[in-house]
Amino acid sequence: MLLFVGLGNPGAGHAGNRHNIGFMAVDAIAKRHGLPPWRRRFQGVACEGAVGGERVQLLLPGTYMNESGRAVAEAMHFYKLALPDVVVFHDELDLPPAKVRVKVGGGVAGHNGLRSITSHVGNDYRRVRIGIGHPGDKDLVHRYVLSDFAKSERDWVAALTGVIADNAELLARGQDASFQNKIHLAMDAKGFGEPKEPGKPAD
């Protein structure tokens, strides 16, 4: 059993926020792999099924971002999972938009969802870091992540969450490097190889 966790804030008002791209990615995985409907569980919503021949529990915490660790800890305890069984999908300010990197452990870089998970269960879980770019000024970060993706960004967001869902079986099998490479190649093929940083004019 693996646990795929999407990070975000619950409620319709947050659904399109940059901070919610983890929710979007995991929801796309559920749809692409024909998992059953979400149901209330583990202080959020969850569904379970096969991804790449592996049994996977998908979880969207309903605790708000800064308490995400409570939901993750409850699910891990219920299934007796270890940290290597947990894959967390989250927004990453330090990556350009539409770029994806996978890593194990590391710092939380000011991300309240990661901080909460690390404080509840430990640090060495797998992370799918989904680039949203940086607004360029740290004083603008809070407003930036809690704002919806701009209309001009929605095409790459839809493309990227779809490509993540298409290749999620590689993550389920522990083939993180292959997953990362497939994402890169697929986004290049779709014409999203070098999206503009926020605030930069189009050519």
pLDDT means per 10 residues, the chain with 203 residues, are 97 96 98 96 96 95 96 97 97 95 89 95 96 94 96 96 97 96 95 60 37
CATH of the domain at 32: 3.40.50.1470
Domain that includes residue 169, residue range: 2-189
> Is position 196 within any domain?
no
Burial 18-49 (b: 16+ CB within 10 A, else e): bbbbbbbbbbbbbebbebeeeeebbbbbbbbe
The residue count of the chain comes to 203
> Is position 194 within any domain?
no
Q: For residue 181, what are its two tokens?
A: 């490479």
> Is position 145 within any domain?
yes
> Is position 202 within any domain?
no
Q: What is residue 176's predicted lDDT score, i.e. its pLDDT?
A: 96
Distance CA 146, CA 13 (A): 10
Q: What is residue 193's predicted lDDT score, i.e. its pLDDT?
A: 72
> Is position 148 within any domain?
yes
> Is position 121 within any domain?
yes
Domain count, the chain: 1
Q: What is residue 195's predicted lDDT score, i.e. its pLDDT?
A: 47
The residues assigned a catalytic role are 19
